Amino acid sequence: MNSTDFLHASFRSRACRMAERGFTLVSAIFLLVVLAALGAAIVTVSTTQHTASALDVLGAQAYQAARAGTEWGLYQYRSNPAAYCNNAATPDTRTFALPAGTALSGFSVTVTCTYTPFGGATIPAQPTDSITYDTATNVATVTTEAPHGLGPGYRIVMSGAGPAGFNGSYLVDSILSPTTFTYFPAVSPGGDATVQGIFTASAASLDRRQIIAVACNQPAGSGCPNASARMDYVERQVQVEF
């Protein structure tokens, strides 16, 4: 091999080594990019799962907070029905934060109670033709001469009947015919009526109230819901009717 051939071989060998080093560098960069993308994907999935888990916990707490709101509303009505949820024109709305130091302390609840009167007619006083009593079922069956005009859910006030166990305010249990209905006396009269009574009736028992409690972890100035809350905003709603 002369000097010229030697130089050519040397150049070719150096070029091959440089090409190999270039390929190795490209491969290393490619692997780094793939590993970086894989790591970013793992971090994203982990973050998403953690966020979803945290939101699930907040959602469960918000639901319990909303339930607490409905129970609060029911208590307000049961304890003072004359002062709470009795205005058909204006719903009764209250917003409050749940007590500090509890699992629900980060939530506020807006409780709205809406009153809808039935508006049924009051039935004037009517005499009874007969009142029988079934001691086995505690059912009093009333028969009238004229159609009584009652319906399910009506409340009667019976007076003047004897025995006195027939008298009082009762919900109508069933309508057997236009002139016959039943109810459950609070005190057993012991037998059929020996003295006929007089009853009045109204449909006031068909009035309806609806309580909606909305709980959230980021209340607005007027309470929950909050349309301009952050991404981690959680809201739950519970509704009851009676």
Are the beta carbons of 143 and 180 closer than 8 angstroms? yes
Number of alpha helices (DSSP H) and beta strands (DSSP E) in the chain: 1, 12
In a domain, 19, yes or no: no
In a domain, 16, yes or no: no
In a domain, 136, yes or no: yes
SS3 of residue 9 by DSSP = helix
Q: 210: how many CB neighbours lie within 10 A of its CB?
A: 16
Q: Domain check: are 87 and 188 in the same one? A: no
Q: Domain check: are 78 and 59 in the same one? A: yes
SS3 of residue 7 by DSSP = helix
pLDDT score, position 94 = 94
* Amino acid code (one letter) for 108: S
Q: Domain check: are 165 and 231 in the same one? A: no
Q: Domain check: are 169 and 227 in the same one? A: no
| CA pair distance 64, 104, nearest whole angstrom | 8
Q: Domain check: are 193 and 166 in the same one? A: yes
| CA pair distance 176, 148, nearest whole angstrom | 11
Dihedral of CA 174/179/180/185: which sign? positive
Q: Domain check: are 127 and 103 in the same one? A: no
Q: Domain check: are 167 and 220 in the same one? A: no
pLDDT score, position 159 = 95
Element spanning 132, H or E: strand 130-134
Q: Domain check: are 200 and 134 in the same one? A: yes
pTM metric for this prediction: 0.53
Q: Domain check: are 78 and 65 in the same one? A: yes
Paired strand residues for 46: none
| CA pair distance 95, 149, nearest whole angstrom | 43
In a domain, 42, yes or no: no
Asked if the bond preceding 124 is cis, omega within 30° of 0, the reply is no
Q: Domain check: are 234 and 164 in the same one? A: no
In a domain, 175, yes or no: yes
In a domain, 13, yes or no: no
Q: Domain check: are 183 and 217 in the same one? A: no
Predicted confidence pLDDT, tens digits, the chain (242 residues): 545 554 445 555 555 555 555 567 667 777 787 777 777 777 776 666 666 677 789 999 999 999 999 999 999 988 888 789 988 889 999 999 999 999 899 999 999 999 987 766 678 899 999 999 999 999 999 999 899 988 877 889 999 999 999 999 898 999 999 999 999 999 999 999 999 999 998 876 567 899 999 999 999 888 999 988 888 899 999 999 98
In a domain, 18, yes or no: no
Q: Domain check: are 229 and 128 in the same one? A: no
In a domain, 78, yes or no: yes
The CATH number of residue 139's host domain is 2.40.30.20
- Side-chain half-sphere of 218: how many Cα atoms within 13 Å? 10
SS3 of residue 206 by DSSP = helix
How many domains in the chain? 2
Query: Could you tell me the residue range of the domain that residue 178 belongs to?
Result: 122-204
